[in-house]
Structure 1
Amino acid sequence: MYFTLYINPQTPGPEMDGAIMEAAIENAVRADQAGFRGIALTNHHFSNYNTYGNSFMFGAHLGSQIKQAWLLLQVAVAPLINPLELAENANLLDQIWRGRFIMGIGSGGSPLEFEGFGRDPAMRGSLTAEVMDVAARAWKRKPGDPPLEYRTHHDRGILRGRIMPGPYRKDQPLLARAALAEEGWVDAGRTGRPLFFGRVGVEGAAHAMNVYDDALAKAGWSREQVEFCKDWTTMQKTVLLADDDDTARQLIDEPLANLHRLSQAAFSAYGDEQRKAVTGVSGDDPAVFRKAFVEGATIIGSPQTFIEKLKQYEGAGVRHVALHMNFGFMRPEVTRRTLDLFIDKVMPKFS
């Protein structure tokens, strides 16, 4: 089983942004040195749900400090980005990370972010398709080809030159599909791309992997491609480790309460379904939020409990887990203790 450090720290406000980002960088370097397979960045704006905001720029900064791990964007929200800018930013990260880069594509969840960029969240699916179609054509364009004229619902232009820089890999950077529903799992297998998913229990993970494996097999991909896809298909989990289960359950109360208040402040004005799209949990009752989040999105407990739970997911076909260790304005010492316990007590059981 492989492990990725998923970096999505929430922030209580601008006065803490710098310190939170510095801690995130330190944790990423520590994880890289310990043998984590990847560092994952996510993409949220305007809501305090993600401190660094721009995953492309933060990923470029990390590229000079991470020596072995890959960079995973989980995800680039295509509807919010100009298609040529998306292709250009992806190529730049591909070069900086020397091909150790996979860009997951998603359609986004928060109307707050769509509103800020002047996009209609009801069109997220069609906008994603438009942007990725133009980006694909831009990546394929060769010197001497006719100008690429494009139009999406929000952007239009003519590409007469080329996307700069060119990608490190041949043709274009590696892409993955982010999806929480079966239709997306099938599409990831059909197109031969790794799948990024989460917020499911063991049974849900087994179902997702069965659907995905079946789609890969039906598409007829080579064994090498299938193995690559399955190695980089990641399930995301919010995690907290402590020396014993009781301490872990106590420590998670504070960050979960903070996360609940943040979700209410940032997303409630747009309806419960939209809040659920971002946090994975609906409802205003803090107790209900805690129960649903713990059962569906987390792994918490002692190292032994953690090992047992990971073994269950391994048995369900999951090869790669993205671990979200800093959430809900978590105190730095709690995050660091989780990371240290995981490196010292858990990782050796899966080497």
Structure 2
Amino acid sequence: MHFSAFLTTRSAGPESDRAVIEAMVEHATDAERLGFDAVFLPDHHFTGYAPPASDPMMFAAYLAAKLPRLHFGFSVQTIPLHHPVRFAERLNLIDQLTDGKVLVGTGSGTTPEEMIGLGVRYQDTKELSVSNLDVVERLWAKRPGDEPVEFDNGHYRGSVVSRIVPAPHSPDGPQLMSVAQRPSSTRRAAEQAQPAFIPAFTPPAIDDAKPMEHLRHYYAAYREALEAAGHSEERVARALEWTTHTYQHVHVADSDAQAEDEFQRLMEQYQGAIEREHVANKAAEAITGVELRPHPDARKPGYQGTWCLWGSPATVTEKLREVADLGIGNVLGGFLGGPLTPDRVELGRKSMRLFATEVMPKFREAAA
């Protein structure tokens, strides 16, 4: 099993942005030193949700020069916000700079504020995501001398005569990842032998506290489709190796009681950040003409059961055993979620160290 660190934390304002960026560099450095296999970066704008997330490819390129052992993942790239030509070019370049160690999660986005800020209608995001990915794949397949790749999806248009430069490092191009939830996304991931993100919820509810039921269902559907798609055993194994389940918040402490006390304190801080961002989200919804479900309360059992992993090393190991037994290849965890306070930094570092030294080896010993 692989283990990855999610580079997320919140900036409270312009005066905090630099400190958050520096903390994320240090966090990634700690991840490599402690034996994590990858770091994943989000793609977000305007809210203060991880300032480097405004350009995760640039941040990944910076980190790759410092941390060459790591894989670099994106969870996830918001496809409607990217011109498909620039997206294809930039992914090929980051694929070269990481020697092919890139994992590109793709999604249509969830936040109206980000869409209107970059000139995209929220109502068009799903259709635009599918169209943009189709264009990107056509661009990657194009060779010099082929007919021009022409496209016009109502928002982005162009005609590429030559080819995408640079070529990717990986023979099959940068490794894309889908969220294996909707049947169409699951089918796409399976047909293309992509690793997938396996969710532990079924929309519209994302906090019903029955995570393993959903996880088993979506993983079984993805794996069945992948194995039925006619790929070689090697390609199936490569896809399963990085198939990922995500915990937005991971907190490990010496005892269950200590972990519970610290974790609930951190969730209170996180909820405060969510409520501050809610004001801007509602303003964007009004401009866009949509009304979305509010973010679930992070202090409630439903959210915590779906998105969080906490306890002593023994308890966290036991909870993860169920995930490992399914066959999940990669666990992605956030250790610094919420506002970047001194308390958050201190507890996050200790939690990450305990996870790396007391939990991760249990699963690697089993593999050996």
TM-score (norm 2): 0.87
The worse-fitting range, judged by mean Cα deviation, of 242-251 and 86-95 is 242-251
Pairwise CA distance, 1:61: 0.7
Which residue of the partner structure matches residue 346 of structure 2? 333
Q: Which among 297, 305, 308 is matched to residue 318 of structure 2?
A: 308
1:245 aligns with 2:245: no
Match of 2:361 in 1: 348
1:225/1:63 CA distance change after superposition, 3 Å: same
C-alpha separation in 2, matches of 1:274 and 1:43: 20
CA distance in 2, matches of 1:232, 1:218: 19
CA distance in structure 2 between the partners assigned to 1:154 and 1:245 by the alignment: 51
Which digits, 9 at most, give the CA deviation of each residue in 1:67-113, with x for residues without a partner?
21211111111101000010011011101001111211111111111
Q: State the secondary structure of the residue aligned to 2:66.
A: coil
Deviation by residue 1:40-69 (Cα, 9 ceiling, x = unmatched): 111111112232121111111111011212
Within 5 A, what are the aligned runs for 1:122-141? 122-141=123-142
Distance in 2 separating the partners of 1:154 and 1:86: 15
User: Which segments of 5 or more consecutive residues in structure 2 lack a partner in the other structure?
Assistant: 202-210
- Which AA in structure 1 matches 2:332? A
**Equivalent residue number for residue 111 of structure 1:** 112
Seen in structure 2, the aligned counterparts of structure 1 residues 34 and 129 have a Cα distance that, compared at 3 Å, is same
Deviation, structure 1 residue 273: 6.9
Cα 1:317–1:90 shift into 2, 3 Å: same
Aligned mates of 1:8, 1:227 — CA distance in 2: 29
Question: Equivalent residue for 2:208?
Answer: none
Superposition deviation, residue 199 in structure 1: 4.2
Deviations 1:150-197 (A, max 9, x none): 212212222233322221112521111124445533432233211013
| Cα separation, partners in 2 of 1:254 and 1:274, compared to 1, 3 Å | farther
AA of the residue aligned to 2:349: R
Matched residues in 2 for 1:105 and 1:38: separation? 17
Shift of residue 138, structure 1, vs aligned partner: 1.3
Q: Which residue of 1 aligns with 2:221?
A: 211
The question of whether the paired residues in 1 share the 8 Å contact of 2:20 and 2:50 is answered with: no
Question: CA separation in 1, counterparts of 2:156 and 2:106?
Answer: 19
Offset of 1:289 from its aligned partner? Answer: 4.5
Select 2:265's aligned residue among 254, 257, 260. Answer: 254
Structure 1 letter corresponding to 2:10: Q
Q: Is 2:12 the counterpart of 1:12?
A: yes
Partner SS, residue 22 of structure 1: helix
Unaligned runs of 5+ in 1: none
TM-score normalised per structure 1: 0.91
In 1, Cα distance between the equivalents of 2:271 and 2:113? 17
